[in-house]
Amino acid sequence: MTDTHTVVPVEDTAMLATISNEHSSKIKETESTVTAAKATPADATNNYADINCYDEIEIEDMDYDEDEEKYTYPCPCGDRFEITRIELESGESIAKCPSCSLLLKIVYDPDDFMPDDGEDFELDTAIVVS
């Protein structure tokens, strides 16, 4: 299959400049949208105000699988939304369905998912003298 291109001479250079500027603006707008979509939670500070989610639920309404360390919730497509404990620890608040494009906003307290830093660990330093 061969692409056929038609070359149309543009005699008005002002019109050509306008078309070029409009094209450049659209490219920059698309690039910034893609960059924002690829941003990590740390970069985006989890500002998902502009993302269209199917629903918003409390973390307590989700099922937790201890073996896989992930929370799930039924999706209308028949599969289940998923979000891992690691994602929650990193500040993520959007669960994704692996079978469709729906997203689910999760309401939770990020402090409940702070990684354990070992503060509860106690070392026995007693010396026994016999």
- Lowest pLDDT segment from 35-44, 48-57, 107-116: 35-44
Give yes or no for a contact between 97 and 80, defined as CB atoms under 8 angstroms apart: yes
Residue 124: pLDDT band with limits 50, 70, 90: low
47-to-16, 37, 39, 44, 107 alpha-carbon distances in Å: 39, 11, 11, 6, 13
pTM over 0.85: no
Nearest C-alpha neighbor of 77 from the set 100, 94, 59: 100
Please list, in sequence order, all residues whose beta carbon lies within 8 angstroms of the beta carbon of residue 73, skipping any fewer than 6 positions away: 57, 61, 62, 63, 80, 81, 95, 104
Gap between the Cα atoms of 66 and 117, Å rounded: 20
Highest averaged pLDDT of the listed ranges 27-36, 43-52, 59-68, 112-121: 59-68
Give the pLDDT score at 113: 79
pLDDT at 54 over 60: yes
Mean pLDDT for all residues in the chain: 74
Q: How many residues does the chain have?
A: 130
28-to-22, 25, 31, 35, 104 alpha-carbon distances in Å: 10, 5, 5, 10, 29
